[in-house]
Amino acid sequence: MTLQRDLQCLRRLPLFRDIDPQRLKLLAFASERVHFDPGEVVCRQGEPGDAAYVILEGRARVLREGPEGALEVARLGPNDVVGEIAILCGVPRTATVVADGPLEALRIDRETFLATVRQFPEIALGIMRELALRLHETTRRLGELAAACPEQAARP
């Protein structure tokens, strides 16, 4: 019954909502269900992107390492996807994701994910939409930070 639950989870994601159920079942079958303990690293900033993760249960914190240490930039929960940027762009991971309690996720390896995107270009549109929303939110938050610290915003 786990395959059926994983399939239902994938169907709830906007990225995969329009995929034929049989093909989505193949994606669910090719994915690996993984468990992370509280505080365990799901993926680490700077490492190569070898997989994307769909959070099924639990929560995670997204941390960005900088000169001042780790800064939490987002929180993730069920039905959130993480790691797709690194596998799509072939760049190192842009942040560290840490389980914020017990976490269950589907791990979709790079080759499987890319093959699915090639077969279903509408997934690429969904990814672009999601990334645009993230960029919008990041820009909004940066604007708030700049307003709170005007002396820092004025520095070149």
Going along the chain from its start, the domains and CATH numbers come out as: 2-144 (2.60.120.10)
Q: Which two tokens stand for residue 21?
A: 């159920």
Predicted local distance difference test score (pLDDT) of residue 60: 97
Q: Which two tokens stand for residue 7?
A: 């399939």
Q: In what order do the strands lie in the sheet with 103-109?
A: 32-36, 103-109, 51-57, 81-82
**Percent of the chain whose predicted confidence (pLDDT) is above 70:** 95
What is the rounded CA–CA span in Å between residue 35 and residue 84? 19
Q: Per-residue confidence at 156, pLDDT binned at 50, 70, 90? A: low
Q: Which of 23-27, 65-69, 100-104 has the highest mean pLDDT?
A: 100-104
Closest CA to 83 of 15, 5, 141, 139: 15
Average pLDDT over residues 65-87: 87
